[in-house]
Chains A and B, each alone.
Chain A
């Protein structure tokens, strides 16, 4: 203890970094190792069958090399996925139909649009629930019910209904994204708008504040920590919703379509690449909201 405390600041920073990075790296290494083992095991059958058909006997090293280099592996190895990702991101013109950046943008734009609609709807419903007795007692069961319906069942219907009205592309996907993302915002904001305690509400009453003044000056600012917590859930849900909206037949653009076409043609590397692109996108979006949250709450003096 005393040694660490007396160490130079640079040294301490390095120790801190090590202390934080080490567990993460250990877990990552373990996952990669298990993944490689899994790839060898799952692709082994195919390699053995091929060898038997060609009447050759493989050395262990040759066997492993082949399981990790198949064109259409059951489970592609990490380095294959990494190569696929690199090829999809850097190896294409950005406007190419094979570019993951282009597909990612298609998905991202619908996600952001859906997230915007969902957030707005969630906040408006929460405001209604907090201020109106009838809404307080009637809206929540419907909101909960809307989330229990499998999104996989709803998504194709939304796409078909909109398509029959001549609307395709971003909007129907955004609606599905909004369907998933409004709920966490609704729940978070109902809680958030109700955080001011009796004393703070009494104080407002003692100044004869109107309900609008009470809302803008007390309830809304108080709800900010809750809003940001639910926005993080909501944006991830919006991404899932968008990808699900891209799955129904006919979609040709977006990470969801990339997943689907990959599975049509047995392009497992393509599926996994799209999957990782989607995961990275989700992580980036959540981190972005986290950064905005830190900034806003710090400015408001509400940061923990």
Chain B
């Protein structure tokens, strides 16, 4: 699904070039749930943006579904979820989900059917007629996930989607996201700086470190696909979280 070989990305700034990404090699298979974790400046968001063709790598090759990121975007390969919901206040929830569908030229009846389906999927059925300000922060973010799902992209790219929400809402949304992932079989790329979140959600955890932004460890999760929230108290979970923490510390060796 996503294949990176020696990907590098250098920003030209006033203080000289900055290596946001260096020698990133990564393969993400169909149906994987991959978390990118690391301190700020480690390039996790930059990598996700490069996959989405919102940034262009300056070195190496990056393939999404066997295509260049640009071509993959035009082929509607992915839906992108940002940290803020970014819903338009002048559109209802249904209208907001309809927006990418209108842009992509879906017919009216098709749009209505898709909106109903994804609202059901994120557990917001019946809220289509509400305006964003009438919904809580967690519900707004669910609506933005529904918007990213509406056009049936195989890949869901999520950049700290729950970063602005409180712990309790976050737990519930993580559970719901896992449920959604199992139901739809999407490939998910998920940026976070929460270790428990990464461990709880992922089949694969990519640990990154800054200056230059690079991958220090790729950890395949041994946890089963069925994960109740209580799994976070099991020894396997704690051991995995410890391994991620070790990986993060490794990258910080010279700080």
Residues of A within 8 A of B (CB): 199-200, 202-209, 213, 217-218, 221, 299-302
Contact = CB atoms under 8 A, between A and B. Distances in A.
Contacts of A205: 54
Contact of A301 (B78, B79, B131): B131
Contacts of A202: 49, 54, 80, 82
Interface string B55-88: 0000000000000000001101011101110101
B80 A206 contact: yes
Contacts, number: 48
Given A221-B90, A300-B90, A301-B132, A209 B103 contact: yes
Contacts of B52: 206
- Listed from nearest, the 8 A-B pairs whose CB atoms lie closest are A301-B89, A300-B90, A206-B80, A207-B100, A209-B103, A207-B103, A199-B82, A213-B103
Contacts of A206: 52, 54, 73, 78-80
A205 B76 CA distance: 11
Contacts of A207: 99-100, 103-104, 151
13 contacts: A199-B84, A202-B80, A206-B52, A206-B78, A206-B80, A207-B103, A207-B151, A208-B73, A208-B103, A213-B103, A217-B103, A300-B90, A301-B89
A207 B78 CA distance: 9
B89 A300 contact: yes
A301 B133 contact: yes
A299 to B, nearest CB: 8
B54 A221 contact: no
A11 B52 CA distance: 61
Nearest to A299: B90
B80 to A, nearest CB: 4
B99 A217 contact: yes
A203 B90 contact: no
Contacts of A301: 89-90, 131-133
Given A202-B80, A207-B104, A302 B99 contact: no
Given A208-B103, A217-B102, 9 more contacts: A206-B54, A206-B73, A207-B100, A208-B76, A209-B103, A217-B99, A221-B90, A301-B131, A302-B90
Nearest to A300: B90
Nearest to A213: B103
B103 A199 contact: no
A300 B78 CA distance: 29
Interface centre among B73, B82, B84, B88 (most CB of A within 10 A): B88
A98 to B, nearest CB: 49
A203 B82 contact: yes
B56 to A, nearest CB: 12
Nearest to A221: B90
B80 A203 contact: yes
B71 to A, nearest CB: 11
Nearest to A203: B86
B173 to A, nearest CB: 19
A207 to B, nearest CB: 4
Contacts of B100: 207
Contacts of B104: 207-208
Given A301-B131, A301-B132, A208 B74 contact: yes
Interface string B116-135: 00000000000000011100
